Amino acid sequence: MQLNQKAVLALTPKGGRRDVSVSGVPGLIMRVAEARGQTVRTWRWRVSIKGEPKILTLGAFPDLSVAAVRVLHAELAAIVKAGGDPVKHLEFRRLERLPPSARPESSGPTVNDVAREFIAVLRRRRKRPEAARQLLEANVLPEIGDLPAAEVRKRDLVRVTDAIVARGSKTTANRVHSLLKQMFSVAVDRDLIETAPGFPRERPGGEEKPRTRVLSDDEISRLWQGLDDLTPDGKRGKGVTRPLALAIKLLLVTAQRRGEIASARWDDIIDIDLVDPSSVRQRRKAWRIPETKNGEPHVVTLSPLALGLLDELRGYSGRSDFWLPNSVDYKGDAADRDRTITKAARRLRDHLTLDADWTPHDLRRTARTGMAALGVSDAVAERVLNHVAGDRMVAVYNRHAYSAEMANALDRWADHLTELTK
């Protein structure tokens, strides 16, 4: 028979049991038998291992598909040619096809254990390990967290990233792929497992194109009005609560990162003294962000528009220390709130008629572009976003804080938004 699905399905036991050789695939056999009134088809392989003839059962069709058996046969043939043990490899492959709940129990640390130690290491190496923990908790641990880390196979990792790609998050799939490599490398270094699992050579999400999406003035107006229309008088609309609507507005007004809004506390709001170029001193409210992506604390002067949004948001915060509390117990961590903002934006895309899809991070890019259009210099606008200066020598020699200039830029941007959203 030819090795294709049509030929396999055409095989019948003819009243008993028979073996049919597969053309062009040395030693591969399809056994067809009848059991309880049904036709059972099983892949088998006739092979000589170290001079001794053997017949190995590879798996049942269609659980082991035509495409899969072709790959498995090639793997096993290569192992035999190299003098290895095809039986052991076959067992690994069999376990891969089982759901996690059906795999035999094994001792040793689980993926959950490895992830926990990995995050502890990140806390010492990175300023902001929350993003890594969030990615693992949202995408990896629910799928393979209970598996013994030493028994994780490439197929398990492919299953995780394929699910992320399937929901349209190719960039996230690449981030998870990279994070898993780091996590298992740390597990080997710390002697939690002997060897790391194999990883696909290609990134699951493919090559990434930098996003350039910027909302137009008209889209900003429609987004702002839509947020108010969906959450009138603090009511929940289309799965979006008023606090989440306010958080999305703050992303646009302050030009800061989603994770920084998610982790902001009320005691991060401080008073600062600003001195403008004409030596006029002004007392202003500001938001001090203690942990940022570049590892440096960042102070954002709060415009009147931002303060108005925060005053409204405080009315919903209850006993929480955070600007954006967990709606159930007021104790949810920053990763939970970060995910909630993302989910809210995803729901909003289905109900707001903007010209194209947008993400929370696009609002930060929109603010940066808008400030440039208002005549804010790159040196000031980049500092508003807390981007590290590109020229290290400039960063070393220019120690000016640009506090007054950043405050002016954010005030001008807020005034522009106020005009757009009247």
pLDDT for the residue 305: 97
Q: Which CATH architecture has domain 5-97?
A: 2-Layer Sandwich (3.30)
Mean pLDDT, all residues of the chain: 86
208 versus 312: the higher-pLDDT residue is 312
> Biggest alpha carbon distance in the chain?
100
Superfamily per CATH, domain 217-420: Intergrase catalytic core (1.10.443.10)
Q: Which of 116, 119, 210, 200 is nearest to 157 (CA)?
A: 200
Question: Which residues neighbour 204 within 8 Å (Cβ) at sequence distance 6 or greater?
Answer: 158, 161, 162, 164, 165, 170, 173, 174, 177
Count of CB atoms within 10 A of residue 277's CB?
8
Over the stretch 307-356, which tens digit does the pLDDT of each residue have? 999 999 999 988 888 998 764 433 445 556 677 888 888 888 888 878 78
Q: Which CATH architecture has domain 111-189?
A: Orthogonal Bundle (1.10)
Over the stretch 247-301, which tens digit does the pLDDT of each residue have? 999 999 999 999 899 889 999 999 999 987 677 788 999 999 987 776 678 999 9
Q: Domain residue spans in the chain?
A: 5-97, 111-189, 217-420
For 168, the 3-state DSSP assignment is: coil
96 versus 201: the higher-pLDDT residue is 201
Over the stretch 118-142, which tens digit does the pLDDT of each residue have? 988 887 776 567 778 888 998 999 9
Q: What percent of the chain has pLDDT over 90?
A: 43
Q: How far apart are the first and last CA of the chain?
A: 74
In whole angstroms, give the CA distance from residue 108 to residue 149.
Answer: 8
Q: In terms of pTM, does the model score above 0.85?
A: no
| Least confident interval from 54-63, 219-228, 270-279, 297-306 | 270-279
